[in-house]
Amino acid sequence: MRSLARRWSLRAGARRWSLRAGARRWSLRARVLAVLVALLALVSVTVGVVTVVALRDQLVGQLDGELTSAGGRSVTAGGPPPGDNGGPGNGNSGDERSGARFLLTPGQAAGTLGARLNSSGVEAAAVLDEDGELRNLSASAARSLTSVADDGQPHTLQVATLGRFRVLATRTSDGEILLTGLPLRAVDHTVNRVILIELIVAGGALVVAGVFGAWMVKRTLNPLHRVAATARRVSARRRTRRRASGS
């Protein structure tokens, strides 16, 4: 056991010596340049992350504003008419109050998702396509809509193969839930494009900083190298004289 522990101790000591020797082999110029590039990389990453987070929050906030308006149109078109409670009718046809046909109300954008949920589950779910027609969701996509809370707040939801949506669920006076969703595709595309641009710019900046920094560090340290070279020559001459006088 003692011999085994001694071997491990010797190996650990050898590793530490190797690391220290490797660190000593780094010249002053290399260490200064590495610190400069590392600081620039840290600043670039910090600025990039803050920019992306702020941009995404702003874009999602704008989308939530559009979603609130779309949800209001959905409830107006697909909810029970005010006339059912003793007030005047709202003039909507009965077809818009069945299934997901409230998506056909004027003002709803292509790509808008809509669903009607009741106590039995999803009654109907569809997406408004570019031609203004309803495209029914698959059974698996429709089941994912039941997880949305009807709290009147936007939520992010992955809808099967359709991608991610910001969805808003509103409970109507007759107990049904009308769900409206807008795709996050445009937001994700914009954010991913900004990330790509930031990576390209940051990478180019690091390359330029590395080249320029190496030149600047070399120029700055040249006097020190000359002093060191002079000191080595003086020391060598002294050793030569001592040897000559000793002989």
Q: State the Cα–Cα distance between residues 164 and 184, nearest whole angstrom.
A: 6
Per-residue pLDDT of the chain (247 residues; tens, 9 = 90+): 555 555 555 555 555 545 454 445 567 677 877 888 888 889 989 999 999 999 999 999 999 999 999 999 998 888 776 555 534 444 444 555 667 889 998 999 999 999 999 888 888 999 999 988 999 998 888 888 988 988 889 999 999 888 999 999 998 888 889 999 999 999 999 999 999 999 999 889 888 888 877 777 677 766 766 666 677 777 777 777 666 666 5
In what helix (H) or strand (E) does residue 159 lie, and over which residues does it extend? strand 155-159
With CA atoms as reference, report the closest residue to 182 among 53, 61, 66, 59: 66
Give the burial class of 234: count Cβ atoms within 10 A of its Cβ; 0-12 exposed, 13-18 middle, 19 or more buried.
Answer: exposed
Specify whether the CB–CB gap between 160 and 140 falls below 8 A.
Answer: yes
CA 2 to chain centroid, in Å, comes to 53
With CA atoms as reference, report the closest residue to 152 among 56, 41, 57, 74: 74
Q: What is the DSSP letter of 133?
A: -
Contact residues for 28 (Cβ-Cβ < 8 A; gap 6+): 221, 224
Q: What does the pLDDT read at residue 68?
A: 94
Q: State the Cα–Cα distance between residues 111 and 182, nearest whole angstrom.
A: 7
Give the burial class of 3: count Cβ atoms within 10 A of its Cβ; 0-12 exposed, 13-18 middle, 19 or more buried.
Answer: exposed
Q: State the Cα–Cα distance between residues 156 and 148, nearest whole angstrom.
A: 9
Neighbouring-strand partners of residue 164: 158
CA angle 138–111–54, rounded 5-degree value: 115
Q: What does the pLDDT read at residue 30?
A: 77
Neighbouring-strand partners of residue 126: 114, 136
Q: State the Cα–Cα distance between residues 175 and 56, nearest whole angstrom.
A: 34
Half-sphere exposure of 9 (CA within 13 A, CB side): 6
Q: What's this model's pTM, rounded to 2 decimal places?
A: 0.70
Q: What does the pLDDT read at residue 185?
A: 94
User: Which tens digit of pLDDT belongs to each residue from 158-196?
Assistant: 998 889 999 999 988 888 899 999 999 999 999 999 999
DSSP-derived 3-state class of residue 165: strand
